[in-house]
Structure 1
């Protein structure tokens, strides 16, 4: 097998570098304008063109110290690169280049490897990207007809949990983000737990401080749908009836299993968490300090520029 491979590569050298091989055979200087002049080429005892390099006195194998010089444009070399690519689990460019250079010095090897990988069916199938659908227009509720005020159109989501310590007991606390869908203004609240009652109290605090939004968009989460069901189920209760009458909530939920519909607040949640952990590090906070840090993060978020500065 090795002898056959050497014979084939010797023939490719005769096809690609015939003047240079003839000059070296006759102990004549080769043309100074050839592409591999810097490799100090020579012919071994079998008449194969090799690169001299600077590793001649090392303990490496002879083929590593003096690799074959091959022309990547030759069809046989092109087939050899493709087969090596398949034999090594469709290795990427840099890995395949390293494998080839153990024994062969192929001129313009990167360009030929890129061509092999580009035309490889398996690689194209594995690296293929899905078709990008046409981007639809923004929903109409992001463009209110009348003069907008902050939080007129509000998106809402819950994030966490965060560790909290109260009277020596460790609890889970959650953050609730309300963002204006037009100006990206942020309001942050602490939620005691994921129950519908805790979420309803969070809404009451938000309405008392920021006013009643005309439309509220929620993630399709069980805690939000449960809050709506609880309000409907207990509609006859005096307190709930009064709350529901005073705050006519237009409940709008994103489609199920589609978090990308809430990309507006999901991106803001990442910024909130980055700022939050930058302040507290690994500390476990009390509820009072937790609320204080949320207010500081809210101030930081609302002071950010909304365009490139």
Structure 2
């Protein structure tokens, strides 16, 4: 730092110096100090006129005669594990406006700096860069949880149910002199979590009263249920408080459709069947009666689907379908009972084995923690406008893995707390990083 001290004392000379030159001199002084400390033995050998060992990181390079700028042919060498190296990478990374590793490496080399093992250091700095995480960071992932008891219990159909509303469709309600008046219709899909059977009811609106009427029709046909699972739609929440059927209602975390994948899958199948039916119907105007009939046919098709791969064994010709338990015929009690026993035996032996492997999110990930700074996804606005939040509470599952949290954000000057799945978060600054210090 002798040069900087001299310049600071001699103000008349310093005032005439270009600021860029001062910065260059400062950089060279700092780098020289690092080299004197990190490569002390090699520098001593060079002063004595001795050869540097081949194992030294300073040995290498065959482009000294190339027609390159001097700084590129003879770059300033720095070690990877040093605070100054990290600071330089951060500086040049900001200079290329937080672009990727290749651009950052390129500007480092152009500046005449060679960091031993620089690729890993640049990647590490970019990985920890908060701005880069805001721009391109991936959402948090966690190992897929074990299936809930509701999916693994042998009970009568629709004892444990997952449900959601899908639609909408325009139907002709009445004809007038000016044409036909149209209204909107939706459908509620009830999916048995154990047998994978479905029941569909058409509703006239998304209101709580319409949903409760659909729920009453469902109970009248399928019998009472013990457990319901759904998202946090306002109509479902209202039904939870207004229904006196004595069933337990479990709401999924907001913005976590993957937690309802069991019934979302059934809705996808229903939509595909309806698309085919509408294509066959052509331009025929849809009425409430026709839509209700189509939903009944969709329900029958879905409930007749095989739950497992169809066996080619002639000794087991029966196909395992939900309809085996849903369509008993009067006067055939013994046959129906035999079908039920066969269904549950094969359900336990064949269907449960299909559920055993995890299809995605198969590896353990580090849990997010209270105090982590995160970016909260919001599909309604651009990524640059997503709010930054602080995790205030975590909810570990039975396997000690955190899959939902409470996040505190400030919107328009107001502090708000949201319950969100971790898949809606981009980790910006882990709390643990606050205790870490860079080693020089």
Relative to the length of structure 1, the TM-score reads 0.55
After superposition, give the CA deviation of every residue in 1:99-146 in whole Å (9 maximum; x if it has no partner).
5344322112255457768999x79xx99x99x9xx9xx78x9998xx
Question: 1:163 is matched with which residue: 160, 165, 169?
Answer: 169
Secondary structure in structure 1 of the residue aligned to 2:158: coil
What corresponds to 2:356 in structure 1?
A: 307
1:1-309 map, 5 Å: 1-13=23-35, 15-16=38-39, 19=42, 31-35=53-57, 37-40=59-62, 42=64, 56=67, 63=71, 67-74=75-82, 76-81=84-89, 97=105, 99-103=107-111, 104-112=113-121, 148-152=155-159, 154-164=160-170, 166=172, 172-181=184-193, 183=194, 185-193=196-204, 194-195=206-207, 198-200=210-212, 202-203=214-215, 205-207=217-219, 209=221, 211-217=222-228, 219=230, 221-224=233-236, 249-254=245-250, 258-259=253-254, 266-276=260-270, 286=286, 287=291, 288-289=293-294, 292-293=297-298, 295-297=300-302, 299-300=304-305, 302=307, 305-308=354-357
Distance 1:24 1:42 in 2: 20
The verdict on how the C-alpha distance between 1:302 and 1:170 changes in structure 2, with shifts beyond 3 A counting, is farther
- 1:126-176 per-position Cα deviation (integer Å, ceiling 9, x unaligned): 99x99x9xx9xx78x9998xx732222x33433223334558876543332
Distance 1:171 1:63 in 2: 74
Q: 1:32 to 1:202 in 2, by over 3 A?
A: same
Counterpart-to-counterpart distance in 2, 1:261 and 1:79 = 39
Q: 1:164 to 1:92 in 2, by over 3 A?
A: same
Q: Distance in 2 between matches of 1:77 and 1:32?
A: 23
Count of residue correspondences: 263
List per-residue Cα deviations over 1:226-283 (Å, max 9, x = no partner).
Answer: 568888xxxxxxxxxxxxxxxx82254447x95599986x222332344455556799
Q: Is the 8 A contact 1:216 1:250 kept in 2?
A: no
CA 102–17 in structure 1, closer or farther in 2 if over 3 Å, else same: farther
CA RMSD, Structure 1 to Structure 2 (Å): 5.5
Residue 206 of structure 1: how far off its partner (Å): 3.3
Asked whether the equivalents of residues 72 and 106 of structure 1 are also in contact (C-alpha less than 8 Å), the reply is yes
Answer whether contact 1:190 1:202 (CA < 8 A) is retained. yes
C-alpha distance after superposition, 1:166-214 (max 9, x if no partner) = 5887654333232335x262413142332456435534553455x3134
**1-side partners of 2:47 and 2:172: how far apart?**
87
Q: Higher RCO, 1 or 2 (CA under 8 Å, sep at least 6)?
A: 2
CA distance in 2, matches of 1:148, 1:198: 28
The TM-score, its normalising length taken from structure 2, stands at 0.42
Which residue of the partner structure matches residue 412 of structure 2?
none
d(CA) in 2 for partners of 1:184, 1:273: 16
